Amino acid sequence: MAMTITEKILAAHCGEDSVKPGQLINARIDVIMCHDVTTPPAIAMLAERGMDRVFDREKIVVTPDHFQPAKDIKSAELHRRLDTWCKKHNIKYYYPLGRAGVCHALLPEQGHVRPGEVIVGGDSHTCTYGAFGAFSTGIGSTDLAAAIATGELWFRVPDTIKFVLNGKLPHGVYSKDVILAVITRIGTDGARYKAMEFVGPALADMSMEARMTITNMAIEAGGKNGIMDVDDVTRAYLKEHLRDKKEYTVYASDPDAEYERVEEFDCSSLEPMVALPHLPGNGKKIGEVAGMAMDQSYIGSCTNGRIEDLRIAASILKGRKAAIRTIVVPATPEIWKQALDEKLFDVFYEAGCVISAPTCGACLGGFMGILAAGEKCVSTTNRNFVGRMGDPKSEVYLASPATAAASAVEGKLTDPRKYL
């Protein structure tokens, strides 16, 4: 039976020769990602039911990130509970404060993501890891508790939509623009509980960092998971980053696999995109919205806080001053150190930016960049719902690091191509 890459991975993890969309399965979990917001409720559920156990201390990766460093007493308590639990169960891969980073940047960087695996996490953007040819999806605290205790979860096998990214990205257009264009076309529920499989020549030219930006936002179209083939770019990244377990299994969709539908994009005709409030699917070409005044620029998050993103932003900010409040957030300590070593911090400092420790921070309205009523922020994050980054009367405009940096320089939404 012909299958897609997603179907093959799920079949292998439930002990079946094949599976089909709509089928209910119980799958073995390879990696569980835990952070400071959804994990404390999960471990409390287990304790209350006399099930305070972990199925495998080496298959659980833990990092505080949403409210780290702790912003208040409640977040400090979350961190304390996480720390106590990790020590009690001798969790092998625990990244405490000082080594903690934004989870979806940290796990691939530290070698915890491999092709062919089933990875779950108590965070909706766990779909990021599909860039490595893995089935990866976000779950809630209840399912997280079940996975921690048993190492298994049930799934409904999703239908797959194939997204063919043709052409070559023009100068000044990035993977963030691609995924905003995709979501704008199909809508924020256009792939609800679907596997979003990305292929095509435009994708082949992208780095792993750029690819992770695309799969990261699959959930913003309602996707169950985003996924891509393994190629030489993937293998090169894995060769550099895999540490303990270097072997992995590569799956690929059969040529005659069935898809719910196929969506084709001519990436060579794309322009920089901005998603206006209050949906990631409310995308506009930069030419349609350029000139709109902003109060803040935010460059960071699990979507665009990697070293490639910081380099892009620095290339525009170098020798220039930010006209508005601009916050730069490296996603992990390694990225922070690399940006320091490459003297990107000098660029950001001279431009008048705030440079933060790794944190999810303002992306979810936590801290390090909260918006007041009426304020507008151009942001490299992944969501711009009402009140997402602060007051319900504030507004978030999603864009690439290049657009965010150019807009910081001019204090208004700006086409980054004029600075590149």
* 220-253 pLDDT tens trace: 999 999 999 999 999 999 999 998 888 999 999 9
Spatial CB neighbours of 412, under 8 Å, sequence gap ≥ 6: 290, 291, 292, 293, 294
What's the whole-number mean pLDDT along residues 7-26? 97
pLDDT tens sequence across 260-283: 999 999 999 999 999 999 999 999
Q: What pLDDT sits at residue 88?
A: 96
Query: Cα separation of 317 and 38, whole Å?
Result: 36
Angle between helices 344-351 and 307-317 (to 10 degrees): 50
Q: What pLDDT sits at residue 171?
A: 95
Residue identified by tokens 């864009």 is: 399
Quickly count: other Cβ atoms within 10 Å of residue 236's Cβ. Answer: 12
Classify 5-265 by CATH class.
alpha beta
Classify 274-414 by CATH class.
alpha beta
Tell me if 5-265 shares its fold with 274-414: yes
What amino acid occupies position 243? R
Q: Where are the domains of the chain?
A: 5-265, 274-414
Query: Cα separation of 53 and 60, whole Å?
Result: 12
**Rounded (10°) CA dihedral 356, 360, 363, 368:** -30
Q: What pLDDT sits at residue 246?
A: 86
**Is residue 384 within 8 Å of 281, Cβ to Cβ?**
no
What's the whole-number mean pLDDT along residues 84-100? 95
* Position 181 confidence tier, pLDDT thresholds 50, 70, 90: very high
- Please give, one letter per residue, the 3-state secondary structure of the chain: CCCCHHHHHHHHHHCCCCCCCCCEEEEECCEEEECCCCHHHHHHHHHHCCCCCCCCCCCEEECCCCCCCCCCHHHHHHHHHHHHHHHHCCCCEECCCCCCCCHHHHHHHCCCCCCCCEEEECCHHHHHHHHHCCEEEECCHHHHHHHHHHCEEEEECCCEEEEEEECCCCCCCCHHHHHHHHHHHHCCCCCCCCEEEEECHHHHCCCHHHHHHHHHCHHHHCCCEEEECCCHHHHHHHHHHCCCCCCCCCCCCCCCCCCCEEEEEEHHHCCCEEECCCCCCCEEEHHHHCCCECCEEEECHHHHCCHHHHHHHHHHHCCCCCCCEEEECCCCHHHHHHHHHCCHHHHHHHHCCEECCCCCHHHHCCCCCCECCCCEEEECCCCCCCCCCECCCCEEEECCHHHHHHHHHHCECCCHHHHC
Q: What pLDDT sits at residue 275?
A: 98
Q: Count of residues for the chain?
A: 420
Q: What pLDDT sits at residue 109?
A: 97
Query: Cα separation of 25 and 42, whole Å?
Result: 22
What's the whole-number mean pLDDT along residues 167-174? 96
* Residue 147 CA from chain centroid, whole number: 21
Query: Cα separation of 418 and 154, whole Å?
Result: 50
Mean pLDDT (the chain) is: 96
pTM (2 d.p.): 0.95
In sign, the C-alpha dihedral spanning 208, 214, 219, 222 is negative
Query: Cα separation of 253 and 272, whole Å?
Result: 31
pLDDT tens sequence across 23-55: 999 999 999 999 999 999 999 999 999 999 999
Question: What residues form DSSP beta bridges with 263?
Answer: 163
What's the whole-number mean pLDDT along residues 140-149? 97
**At residue 392, does pLDDT exceed 90?**
yes
Residue identified by tokens 């400071």 is: 36
**Is residue 54 within 8 Å of 32, Cβ to Cβ?**
no
